[in-house]
Amino acid sequence: MFDPVGLKDRYTRLVAWQGMWVNYWTQTVAKGEETAEADESRTNQQVADNDAALLQNNVLLSSDLSTDDQQPSSSSPQRLEKQRQAYVKKEEKNSNIRPGHHFVVLPTGLGEVLGGSSKWEKVLIEAAEDEVAAHCGLFIRDRNLDYEGFVDRVGKKIFGWCETL
């Protein structure tokens, strides 16, 4: 997370690994908010933030989108490079403003080229102040909106993995 290029390398090796793994990622929702419209808006904003983090930290470069079969439908190498340059210019212009901290870069939007998205599962967390609190909320019944279902899914996944050994 503090070494974006290293993060990309480690994640690429994890995706290539033939072992069993899953990554639970959190999405914060406002207290009492559970509408489909709010979820779509939140998801769109999260994808945009994720794309920005990938570009700002040079985790993805235009060379990462060199083949059509890896390319997200909404991206092209030229578009990615233009976006990256725009973010670099904006960051230079606002050098006193620190870009947002991202706890993890998701394989959504431009991140689809990193692969492994089938191993990621979203968990809705209620009213977390930041990404760290949201992650900790995975294990707090009152914050994880589907705590019982989450525990059940995790248990089934582990038992399923054990059966394949």
**Using CA atoms, how far apart are residues 12 and 26, in angstroms rounded to an integer?**
21
Q: Torsion over CA of 132, 24, 35 and 50, rounded to 10 degrees?
A: 70
The predicted model scores a pTM of: 0.64
Task: Give the chain's end-to-end CA distance (angstroms, integer).
Answer: 32
Sign of CA dihedral 106, 108, 111, 116: positive
- Residue 43 or 62, more confident: 43
| Tens digits of residue pLDDT in 124-151 | 888 788 778 888 889 889 888 889 999 9
Which range has the worst mean pLDDT, 32-36, 41-45, 50-54, 154-158? 32-36
* Cβ–Cβ < 8 Å for 29, 125: yes
| Residue percentage of the chain with pLDDT more than 90 | 17
Cβ-proximal residues to 106 (8 Å cutoff; 6+ apart), any chain: 25, 46, 47, 50, 120
Q: For the chain, what are the domain ranges?
A: 4-164
Which range has the worst mean pLDDT, 53-62, 64-73, 82-91? 64-73
**Using CA atoms, how far apart are residues 132 and 9, in angstroms rounded to an integer?**
23
Q: Chain-wide mean pLDDT for the chain?
A: 76
- Residue 4 or 91, more confident: 4
* Cβ–Cβ < 8 Å for 86, 142: no
